[in-house]
Amino acid sequence: MDTLRLLAHPVRVRIVNALRGDRILTTAELAARLPDVSKATVYRHVDLLAKAEVLEVAEEQRVRGAVERHYRLRQDRAAIALEAARRMTTEDHRRAFASAVAALVAEFDAYLGRDASDPVADLVGYRQHAVWLDPAELEAMIGELRAAIAPRLANDSRPGRTRYLLSPVLFPSEPPTEEGPGQPGR
């Protein structure tokens, strides 16, 4: 299975997201983090990701006669490479985006399903902003966002820290304008 088809599935996206941040989890622990997905489905998707080497076995131990595997994410295999993205068709992009959004909706629903969820106290945000950018401004903004986010990706789990899911989405909502200054959208 190619990387695009492998990663363009909501359950597999959620498994990959659950392992981000250098986490090592068993399949049972992954299933507990996806309470709306059957254990059999989680096991099947973990097996597919492991066979494709997106997940690797970090350790194994015997538990009551069975082998329990602890998996870690291989970051280098858990993303669509730029060259592969260039070869994607419009339909490929549509499917990949739909899977990402479906995974995000499922994660948010799981969050809301917890007894202690408090979107206001947890500073939950899901705003949309419309910004007018030329290509240089767009590249600068992306660089600024990367500079703000990248150092925090290395944060480890420790008391007082909460794991947040950050999902930037960026796409042009309209074609470039040909109007003069102060005339956008006319």
Per-residue confidence band for 175, with pLDDT thresholds at 50, 70 and 90: confident
Beta strands in the chain (DSSP E): 24-26, 55-63, 66-73
Q: What is the predicted pLDDT for the residue at 177?
A: 81
Range 118-133 average pLDDT: 93
With tokens 């595997």, the residue in question is 69
CA–CA gap between residue 101 and residue 25 (Å, rounded)? 24
Residue 186 has pLDDT above 80, yes or no: no
CA–CA gap between residue 47 and residue 122 (Å, rounded)? 34
Contacts of 61 by beta carbon, 8 Å cutoff, 6+ apart: 67, 68, 70
SS3 67: strand
Residue 74 tokens read as: 């291989």
pTM of the model: 0.77
Is the domain spanning 3-124 CATH 3.40.50.620? The answer is no
Per-residue confidence band for 159, with pLDDT thresholds at 50, 70 and 90: very high
Q: Are 68 and 60 in contact (CB under 8 A)?
A: yes
Angle at 51 between CA 165 and CA 103, to 5 degrees: 25
CA–CA gap between residue 70 and residue 139 (Å, rounded)? 39
Per-domain boundaries in the chain: 3-124
Q: Write the DSSP symbol of residue 172.
A: -
Contacts of 166 by beta carbon, 8 Å cutoff, 6+ apart: 149
* Widest pairwise Cα distance in the chain: 73
Range 82-90 average pLDDT: 90
Pairing status of strand 55-63 against strand 24-26: unpaired
Q: Amino acid identity, residue 129? A: H
Q: What is the predicted pLDDT for the residue at 185?
A: 52
Order of strands across the sheet that contains 24-26 = 24-26, 66-73, 55-63
User: Which residue has better confidence, 139 or 176?
Assistant: 139
Q: Are 134 and 178 in contact (CB under 8 A)?
A: no
Percentage above 90 pLDDT, the chain: 57
